[in-house]
């Protein structure tokens, strides 16, 4: 009999929502009208100028490897975006283009975490963060957070939970699943707390650009030594193109480049050429229109769900999620999600996917469908609540 598969593969948990998604797809294939509020992917297709740039790149034969750090022109364009959006002067040499934001996280975890060491992470939070740490034989120390701290790590929590094996903290702003944002003072506090302990601060800014009524500050405004993860998937709408980036301190770049060469050689060439169109004024105008549409969706869905009895303690300032407490309805989150999928054909995500802290009575809604579809979803949820036996 063959040896069992690795301990790390057994330790990495699956997405619970994938079982629901598979069932949702089965129902859809059988003719049911399923409203998908479970997956964190915008319903908009990639903006036309980006698609056209990708098609042109293919026609011109841009199908070969690029340098491991990415196209110089794209790194320069991203640096220009930081200047335009944040007033920051970032050397393009500090920017590495990666296969999605996941590639950026893989580089950062590989560089900063030795076996047995860990980062502090907010619970609830994006599950892949802790799984990448396990992949490099490190660990996530999950810190329970709730509405009293805006579902975010704070300097006080860093001080309280830091131990001899802690080497850093990873925060997300805006956050998944809660949509909350860290302001400049909070980022500065986190920076000071991690620096005082000779640790690293890593900030997931993947949902930057998708904020409502305010702009999210970049951690680089207060800490030039922080590591920043970002992606073309969310604000720029390029999910399937698999493209992201990492901004690192100058001293880390050579080692990160070495890791990139070995882990994935380079990010997808065609996607990099397409992404050059992201920063054109016409493209940014389209993306800003989409941001306004996401704001309208949030402003409809948030009060609608609260009106049905869902407890949403903190109004999300960014991303496209609502993290809702279902305690008023009784029962566990997975059974709750399953009920609405089977009876009303509305799919949303159980809190179990985002950690352990009060996960059994939370669910996440993604407002990545049009307003008419969200209105229909609310009607179905209202009907489903009448038949729910928690």
Sign of CA dihedral 349, 233, 105, 85: negative
pTM: 0.96
pLDDT of 185 > 90? The answer is yes
- What is the phi/psi pair of residue 110, to 5°? -65, -35
pLDDT category, 56, cuts 50, 70, 90? Answer: very high
pLDDT of 370 > 90? The answer is yes
The predicted structure's pLDDT at residue 1: 67
pLDDT of 4 > 90? The answer is no
* Tens-place pLDDT, residues 82-139: 999 999 999 999 999 999 999 999 999 999 999 999 999 999 999 899 999 999 999 9
* Tens-place pLDDT, residues 220-232: 999 999 999 999 9
Q: Assign domain 7-45+283-385 to a CATH class.
A: alpha beta
pLDDT of 2 > 80? The answer is no
The predicted structure's pLDDT at residue 63: 96
Segment 365-380 mean pLDDT: 98
pLDDT of 16 > 80? The answer is no
* d(C-alpha 320, C-alpha 43), whole Å: 11
pLDDT of 172 > 90? The answer is yes
Query: Please, what is the average pLDDT of the chain?
Result: 96
The predicted structure's pLDDT at residue 17: 78
Confirm if 236 and 230 have CB atoms less than 8 A apart: no
Q: Residues, the chain, total?
A: 390
What's the CATH number for 49-280? 3.40.640.10
Confirm if 350 and 337 have CB atoms less than 8 A apart: yes
The predicted structure's pLDDT at residue 21: 85
pLDDT of 364 > 90? The answer is yes
Sign of CA dihedral 237, 238, 239, 245: negative
CATH 3.40.640.10 domain span(s) along the chain: 49-280
Question: Closest Cα to residue 175, out of 138, 129, 238, 131?
Answer: 129
The predicted structure's pLDDT at residue 271: 98
The predicted structure's pLDDT at residue 68: 98
Segment 170-175 mean pLDDT: 98
Sign of CA dihedral 262, 264, 268, 272: negative
* Tens-place pLDDT, residues 245-268: 999 999 999 999 999 999 999 999
Share of the chain above pLDDT 90, in %: 93
The string of DSSP codes covering 219-286 is GGGT-TTSEEEEESSSSS--GGG--EEEE--GGGHHHHHHHHHHHTSSS-HHHHHHHGGGGSHHHHHH
CATH 3.90.1150.10 domain span(s) along the chain: 7-45+283-385
Confirm if 114 and 167 have CB atoms less than 8 A apart: yes
Segment 214-222 mean pLDDT: 97
């Amino acid at each position: 009999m063959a040896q069992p598969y690795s301990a790390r593969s057994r330790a990495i948990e699956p997405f619970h929502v994938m079982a629901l998604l598979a069932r949702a797809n089965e129902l859809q294939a059988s003719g049911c009208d399923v409203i998908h509020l479970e997956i964190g992917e915008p319903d908009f297709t990639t903006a036309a100028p980006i698609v056209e740039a990708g098609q042109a790149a293919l026609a011109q034969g841009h199908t070969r490897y690029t340098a491991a750090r990415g196209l110089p022109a794209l790194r320069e364009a991203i640096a220009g975006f930081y200047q335009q959006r944040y007033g920051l002067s970032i050397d393009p040499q500090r920017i590495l283009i990666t296969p999605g934001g996941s590639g950026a996280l893989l580089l950062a975890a590989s560089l900063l975490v030795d076996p047995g060491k860990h980062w502090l992470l907010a619970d609830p939070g994006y599950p892949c963060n802790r799984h990448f740490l396990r992949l490099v034989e490190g660990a996530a120390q999950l810190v329970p957070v709730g509405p009293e701290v805006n579902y975010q790590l704070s300097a006080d929590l860093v001080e309280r939970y830091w131990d001899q094996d802690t080497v850093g903290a990873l925060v997300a702003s805006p956050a998944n699943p809660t949509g909350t944002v860290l302001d400049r003072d909070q980022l500065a506090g986190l920076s000071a707390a991690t620096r005082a302990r000779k640790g690293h601060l890593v900030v997931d800014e993947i949902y930057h650009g998708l904020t409502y009524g305010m702009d999210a500050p970049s951690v680089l405004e207060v800490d030039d030594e922080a590591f920043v993860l970002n992606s073309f998937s969310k604000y720029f709408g390029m999910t399937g193109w698999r493209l992201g980036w990492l901004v690192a301190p100058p001293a880390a770049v050579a080692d990160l480049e070495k890791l990139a060469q070995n882990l994935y050689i380079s990010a997808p060439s065609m996607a990099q050429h397409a992404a050059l169109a992201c920063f054109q004024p016409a493209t940014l105008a389209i993306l800003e229109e989409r941001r306004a549409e996401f704001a309208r969706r949030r402003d409809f869905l948030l009060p609608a769900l609260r009106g049905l009895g869902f407890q949403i303690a903190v109004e999300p300032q960014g991303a496209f999620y609502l993290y809702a407490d279902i305690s008023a309805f009784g029962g566990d989150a997975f059974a709750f999600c399953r009920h609405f999928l089977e009876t009303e054909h509305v799919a949303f995500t159980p809190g179990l996917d985002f950690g352990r802290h009060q996960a059994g009575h939370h669910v996440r809604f993604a407002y990545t469908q049009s307003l008419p579809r969200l209105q229909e979803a609310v009607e179905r949820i209202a009907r489903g609540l009448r038949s729910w036996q928690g």
